Amino acid sequence: MGVSMSVRLRFPAAILAFCGLLGFAAGNNASAHDQWANGDPVPAWVKRACCGPDDVHHLTRDQVHETVDGWRVDGYPDIIPIGTEQPSPDGDYWIFYRTLPNGDKTRVYCFFTPFQGT
């Protein structure tokens, strides 16, 4: 924030084990909050600002749509304003939000794209 479009990290999580996004590609749970999928280190600000492991959604290009109104992500109900995205260090699309027990979704904590805006 399950959403069918997401690829979720599957490992026991400590309370807010920040940004466990990176062991996805390699399946390496031990380094999951230390590296992007390409092996580069995750900056401390990303770990602090973005998420816990249940909040991360790894997206394909087909699930992300840049429109005149902003970014539309399949499975997420709101438009994400252009200019709020961050450049993706590994060249993939990532969105961070939580799906609440009632099915509602929180605001987007972080959104990474291979490029920034138009």
Q: Which domain holds residue 38?
A: 29-113
In a domain, 81, yes or no: yes
Question: How many domains is the chain built from?
Answer: 1
In a domain, 11, yes or no: no
Residue 71 pLDDT grade (very low, low, confident, very high; cuts 50, 70, 90): very high
In a domain, 5, yes or no: no
pLDDT, mean of residues 86-103: 92
Q: Model-level pTM?
A: 0.62
In a domain, 77, yes or no: yes
More confident of the two residues 17 and 54: 54
As a whole number, the mean pLDDT across the chain is 72
pLDDT, mean of residues 17-30: 34
How would you label 41-75 residue by residue, b for 16+ Cβ within 10 Å and e otherwise? ebeeebbeebbbbbbbbbbeeebbeeeeeebebeb
